[in-house]
Amino acid sequence: MPRQILANKNIHAAIKKTVADNHADIISEVQEAVANNKVVVVGMAQNPAPKRARKTLDGLGIEYAYLEYGSYFKLWRRRNALKMWTGWPSFPMIFINGVLIGGSSDLRALVETDSLNKLL
């Protein structure tokens, strides 16, 4: 089932550029990291889940790029653009070979089922 997103025809012409450009820089930065790295973790300060994901990857000796955007107290609007782009509701956002695999618990599940190596 495709993800729900407001159709372009339902966006008034006067605001289309605003919608299209909404924090496009952060999305481009993540897209570039995903294109140039096998594993990318997108997180935020003060959140234990990105730390757990990084600790898991470190423990497995897997190299990754880490992008951190703000904390619970700042940059939430910028992070929200990433949530809208991916459809993933929380951090971290972990990409393996260009595919969003989910967050920390999803990474852990792949490790526990010996499925991670197949993705790498």
17-49 pLDDT per residue, tens: 999 999 999 999 999 999 999 999 999 999 999
The domain 21-104 belongs to what CATH superfamily?
A: Glutaredoxin (3.40.30.10)
pTM of the model: 0.92
Q: Which long-range contacts (CB under 8 A, 24 or more apart) does 54-63 make?
A: 56/104, 56/107, 56/108, 56/111, 57/107, 60/111, 60/116, 62/120, 63/38, 63/39
**pLDDT, tens digit, 9 for 90 and up, residues 63-100:** 999 999 999 999 999 999 999 999 999 999 999 999 99
Enumerate the domain spans of the chain. 21-104
